[in-house]
Amino acid sequence: MPKNLSTKALFIRCFLILFSLIINHTAFAADDDEERAEYIRNNYSKYEYQIPMRDGVKLFTSVYMPNDKSQTYPMLMQRTPYRVAPYGSDKYKKTLGPDASFEEDKFIFVFQDVRGKFMSEGDFINMRPQDAYKRGKKAIDDATDSYDSIDWLVKNIPNNNGNVGMWGTSYPGYYTSVASINSHKALKAISPQAPIADWFFDDFHRNGAFVVPMAFIFFDIFDVQGLNPHGAWPEGMKSQTPDGYDFYRTLGPLSNVNKEYFKGERPFWTELTEHPNYDEYWQSRNILPHLNKTKPATLIVGGWYDTEDLYGPLATYQTMSHNNKKEHIQLVMGPWYHGQWNRGKGDKLGEANFGLNTSEGFRKDILLPFFQQHLKDGDDIKLATATMFETGSNRWRSFDTWPPKPKKLQAQTLYLGAKEKLSGDKELTDAFSQYVSDPNKPVPHSAQIGRGWDKPYMVEDQRFSARRPDVLVFETEVNSNDQTITGAIDIDLWVSTSQSAADFVVKLVDVFPGKDINDDKVDKDTGNRHELVRWGVMRGRFRNSMSNPEPFKPNTPTQVKFELYDVLHTIKRGHKLQIQIQSSMFPFLDRNPQKYVDNIFEATEDDFVTATHKVYHSKKYPSSISFKTLK
């Protein structure tokens, strides 16, 4: 592999562009609406504090208070590792809430640098284990820092009404979730949005497959040590090419990242590569076991097309709703990418058009009224337990539980068959389909040229991959009636490989007709589109355990089972359901060497070998996809 750094472009673009994409967080993004910024300056006064924690460490906190003192106000708080700049009581944020209506409705807005970041004292630990309540009164973690901060705020900030709410997206969503652990009595409402829940599964791994560009780009910036607390984030490495497929393939094995770029100076990246399995290191950072008996009213928010973290909101909702009284745990899932609910209209993504302004509607009709109800004694908005956007039909649906109760669902299993068929019948003869997987020419995750961490691919037309010889395609007959797939999708494959390691990627695709019988206005741009609905992967070594990987026995039929994350999607009459099976999805996922090694982060060039994979569809080895549909 050539190592000429003048031709091997450093892939990362400047921070100010990339980092806004990483956190997708409008409270910290530049806003061109000068009228909104002027409103904030005219109606709010800013104060800065160093709030002491129980161990003496002080956390930097900015407070924006309404100038109108004729009434008291609740506090709306956000704790973040992403910097609460601008610093200085005379320097104001241009946005305070997710929408201008929040600022007009009047809250006391609170922003805090978390422990060890920027202006706050102490040591920062990524996804710090939340076990202080087990270690004694003086022990600290992110939950105790939230408690101590709220306790100080309600006692020291004038004109507050004693009620506190928290919200945040992604990492700030995690800090919002953990605030509910042994929460302060003043914390009445929280909205964890795309919250990190278990980092091995959330952002950087998908059933053990590593999400290369996300981790590489994120930690290039976020993992820099010794930052000037008053300064901006570092710029990060510059790129001379927008082609992530070329960059990461030229990069070679992941061991080259530290050798050629990070040089051991990104400590969390190094730790991550030292723990390729779901071991105690990752398990201790899983916050889900701690989300029991939480008290604040909770509105969990996520996006069906969130390529960064769809796992987090779904897992957080399931955990909290199972371990709490369900009436105060609610879920909203829209047709959004990461954080899209907090910006813009939310009417489209890439090639998909949703027909209505879903983000604007969410902020106006759900998020603001939720905080008004619980922090200002506003009207009960009578929000359903689960408010879910149904893609395909493009409409909002309300449910008492998520997934809906079994009596409202019908189970269905479709079997892979010969001649690329997908049907309810098992193939009666011994049969398989096979393809050759070459890790040096992996299947791209998108037909577009990009850095590998993008959004539109989540709804992209999949014909670009279906036409490759290393992708298998199975398809149903044309639907005679609408079919609304609901909840998780179970994949059950019988496979074999000529080598000792393999990944299996499965895509669920909605195949549009050439002329849509549901619409007399045929759109030439969408006719016969093959729209991606959901995809998932299983790194074969983890098929039986995420903690104890094992190789395949070459040329031996082996069962591989996993789930695709939840959907609420209607395959309309006249459409077909298709699944695609492949063994790479690059550069979004790292390449599996296909020769078993103990740690893929330490694989060498020689470990990357071509393999023949077989997917069986016979009576003895039936491969299938199972899901539930609304009756």
Residue 273, pLDDT > 60, answer: yes
Percent of the chain with pLDDT over 70: 91
Structural domains present in the chain? 32-198+285-399 (3.40.50.1820), 406-630 (2.60.120.260)
Q: What is the model's pLDDT at position 517?
A: 62
Q: What is the pLDDT of residue 233?
A: 76
pLDDT for res 523: 54
Is the bond leading into 587 cis (omega within 30 degrees of zero)? yes
Asked if 292 and 321 touch (Cβ cutoff 8 Å), the reply is no
Give the containing element (helix H, strand E) for 464: helix 463-466
Question: For 154-165, what is each residue's pLDDT tens digit?
Answer: 999 999 999 999
pLDDT at residue 30 above 60? Answer: no
Q: How far is CA 57 from the centre of its chain?
A: 31
pLDDT tens digits for range 379-419: 999 999 999 999 999 999 999 999 999 999 999 999 999 88
Strands 386-390, 329-334: pairing kind? parallel
User: What pLDDT is attached to residue 4?
Assistant: 39
Query: Residue range 424-435: average pLDDT?
Result: 84
The 329-334 sheet, strands edge to edge: 44-52, 58-66, 108-113, 73-80, 160-169, 187-193, 297-303, 329-334, 386-390, 395-399
pTM (2 d.p.): 0.92
Pick from 514, 444, 461, 451: which is nearest to 351 by CA?
A: 461
> Tens digits of per-residue pLDDT, 555-607?
999 999 999 999 999 999 999 999 999 999 999 999 999 999 999 999 999 99
Q: Is the predicted pLDDT of residue 50 greater than 70, yes or no?
A: yes
Q: What is the pLDDT of residues 218-255, one digit of tens each?
A: 998 888 876 666 667 777 777 668 899 999 999 999 99
Provide the pLDDT for residue 35: 94
What is the DSSP code (8-state) at residue 469? Answer: T
pLDDT band for position 498 (50/70/90)? very high
| pLDDT, position 223 | 87
Give the three-class secondary structure for 20. helix
pLDDT of 630 reads 97
* Residue 369 in this model has a pLDDT that exceeds 60: yes
Which segments of 294-420 are extended strands (E)? 297-303, 329-334, 348-349, 352-353, 386-390, 395-399, 409-417
Alpha helices in 24-166 (DSSP H): 34-43, 100-105, 132-135, 142-156
Residues 278, 285: Cα–Cα separation, whole Å: 11
175 burial type by CB count under 10 A (0-12 exposed, 13-18 middle, 19+ buried): buried
Report the pLDDT value the prediction gives residue 136, as an integer from 0 to 100. Answer: 87
CB-neighbour burial class of residue 517 (10 A; exposed 0-12, middle 13-18, buried 19+): exposed
